[in-house]
Amino acid sequence: MGLALIHNMQLNVFLDSAFFLHLAGVVICLEDIKETEPELHKTLKSMLEGHGLEDLTFEIDIQTGKNVYSLEELCEDGSSTDVTMENVAKYVHLYLQHRIEDWKNHTIYGGEGYGYQATDKQILWFWEVVEGMSKEQQMNLLKFWTSTSYLPHGGIGALSRKLQILKIEQEYPTSATCLYSLKLPPYDTFENMKFWLEFVAEEENCRGFGMQ
- Taking alpha carbons only, the member of 88, 108, 94, 87 closest to residue 161 is 108
Give the Cα separation of 203 and 194 in Å (integer).
16
Q: Is 178 a catalytic residue?
A: yes
Give the Cα separation of 104 and 99 in Å (integer).
11
Catalytic residue from among 29, 75, 178, 206? 178
Which letter, b or e, does each residue of 103-126 get, where b requires 16 or more Cβ atoms within 10 Å of its Cβ?
beebbbbbeeeeebeeebebbebb
Give the Cα separation of 180 and 175 in Å (integer).
8
Strand order of the sheet with strand 181-184? 107-109, 163-167, 181-184, 174-176
| Residue 171 zone, left/alpha/beta (φ > 0; ψ -120 to 50; rest) | alpha
Give the Cα separation of 109 and 123 in Å (integer).
9
- Taking alpha carbons only, the member of 13, 59, 58, 60 closest to residue 33 is 13
**Residues with catalytic roles:** 178
